[in-house]
Structure 1
Amino acid sequence: MSGQVPVIETQGLGKVYSPGTEAEVVALRDVDISIARGDFVAIMGPSGSGKSTLMNLIGCLDTPSAGTYRCDGIDVSTLDAEELAVLRRDKIGFVFQGFNLLPRMSALENVAMPLGYARVPPDERSALAHEALAAVGLSERESHRPSELSGGQQQRVAIARALINRPPILLADEPTGALDSRTGEEILALFGRLREDGHTVVIITHDPEVAAHAGRVLTMLDGELREEPRLVIGDS
């Protein structure tokens, strides 16, 4: 890993909402992060701690008020709106608690959908979507609609969709929040395998048991970040 450019790197990152007004909120303060390719990182914190703001900045869904962010070596402040959209498409796969699958589409069609925006030919879309579903263990369910799938299967479809453009970063916001504990463990194990395949996995969570699956745990509190000693499942 020595000498490699961090896939996520922030320096002095800050975010202030409604600056200079009575409603001013300092959401992030001077956040420095360096995350290498292949890291599995959990960002923890209670509601209002700033973790969602940090996720939005890492995901290029919002812009910082201060500091810099380099995504896979690219300073995002140098990009215009169209270039940011391309970076999000190519560099970041998003997974959310609510799955966000289209109900009238099959699993295969849901997974292939992002490739339509990239103008990939239909035959190639289907082949890549089949490959992505196979990677999450759902080849036999590709013709099923979301209503015909369990919660865990729907989340696997959502993960396959996030992987379809083969992004280096997988950003997951409370990905097990809508799942029972056993299914949640299966999804977290899947994230571990994706990390072994070279993906950088960042999970936003409030749950210490979820965070314990990660190799690194970063904690947000009142907009400030600190790194916790490594958690090991089963430690007393």
Structure 2
Amino acid sequence: MTAVIRTEGLGKVYSAGTPAEVVALRDVDMAIGRGELVSIMGPSGSGKSTLMNLIGCLDTPSSGVYLCDGVDVATLDAEQRARLRLDRIGFVFQGFNLLSRMSALENVAMPMGYAGVPRPERLERAREALSEVGLAERAGHLPGELSGGQQQRVAIARALVNRPSILLADEPTGALDSRTGEEILGLFKRLQDTGQTVVLITHDPGVAEHCDRVLEMHDGRLHEHAGVVA
């Protein structure tokens, strides 16, 4: 198995400028292979958000090693980490984070602007991404003209448009009703079937049931779930 995400002894300590440090992560060893659909579960304060930020190169560890698609993140400066994040990691958030005055097509095309992709190619690839999530006919609609599930599909298309190695979704069904949430989870499964690596950060066991593996966070430590979920 080729590990797209690998951590060894990963730790994170926060200091508020006082002797009372907060240990958010403790010696996390983890490997997630290409094409896996994995959930990282845990209650509030368990460390799962900290782990997500480290996996997503939004923060740096206090100790240990993180290899993102084979790259040792500790060897990169801030600009290089930002480039790695742009090229290899797609983010999907609970609140969609779409720009209200831009069409679905423009929202999806936006990350490619930061990557320096010419506008004609941006629009072509954005249309392809919207088609991939079943929203080709809604390309010209503003977010306010779309349902919650459609907005989340636009957000997923935006995350996919730079063809990332890792799709990282933070509570992706939290703002959706149960039926729409099931549709979005089905979409993640179809993306996995194409070889996409998908990591879902969640507190919901119902979401985790859709994944191949469940990793659980407790008090900053990671534990493999006793059962593998298909």
User: Match of 1:168?
Assistant: 165
Cα contact 1:212–1:231 (8 A) shared by 2: no
In structure 2, what is the Cα distance between the partners aligned to 1:84 and 1:127?
A: 27
Cα contact 2:37–2:213 (8 A) shared by 1: yes
Structure 1 pair 76/200, CA: closer, same or farther in 2 (3 Å)? same
User: Match of 1:150?
Assistant: 147
Give the deviation of 1:230 after TM superposition.
3.0
Identity between Structure 1 and Structure 2 (%): 74
Letter in 2 for 1:63: T
User: Match of 1:230?
Assistant: 227
After TM superposition, list the pairs within 5 Å mapping 1:1-236 onto structure 2: 1=1, 4=2, 6-18=3-15, 21-232=18-229
In structure 2, what is the Cα distance between the partners aligned to 1:32 and 1:12?
A: 6
In structure 1, what is the Cα distance between the partners aligned to 2:192 and 2:35?
A: 5
Cα contact 1:215–1:230 (8 A) shared by 2: no
Q: Which runs of 4+ in 1 moved over 2 A?
A: 19-23, 229-233
Structure 1 pair 121/43, CA: closer, same or farther in 2 (3 Å)? same
Cα contact 1:97–1:173 (8 A) shared by 2: yes
Give the deviation of 1:20 after TM superposition.
7.8
Q: Which runs of 5+ in 2 are unaligned?
A: none
In structure 2, what is the Cα distance between the partners aligned to 1:49 and 1:43?
A: 11
Q: Which runs of 5+ in 1 are unaligned?
A: none
Cα contact 2:213–2:229 (8 A) shared by 1: no
- SS at 1:170 equivalent: strand
In structure 2, what is the Cα distance between the partners aligned to 1:22 and 1:207?
A: 35
Letter in 2 for 1:228: H
In structure 1, what is the Cα distance between the partners aligned to 2:16 and 2:61?
A: 12
The CA RMSD over aligned residues, in Å, is 1.2
Question: Residue deviations 1:41-73, cap 9 Å, x none?
Answer: 000000000000000000000000010000000
Give the deviation of 1:27 after TM superposition.
0.3
Letter in 1 for 2:33: A
- SS at 2:44 equivalent: coil
Q: TM-score, normalised by structure 2?
A: 0.98
In structure 2, what is the Cα distance between the partners aligned to 1:73 and 1:207?
A: 30
Give the deviation of 1:229 after TM superposition.
2.5
Question: Residue deviations 1:193-216, cap 9 Å, x none?
Answer: 111111110000000010000000
Question: Residue deviations 1:97-156, cap 9 Å, x none?
Answer: 000000000000000001111111111111000000000000000000000000000000
Aligned length: 230
In structure 1, what is the Cα distance between the partners aligned to 2:173 and 2:16?
A: 34
Letter in 2 for 1:207: D
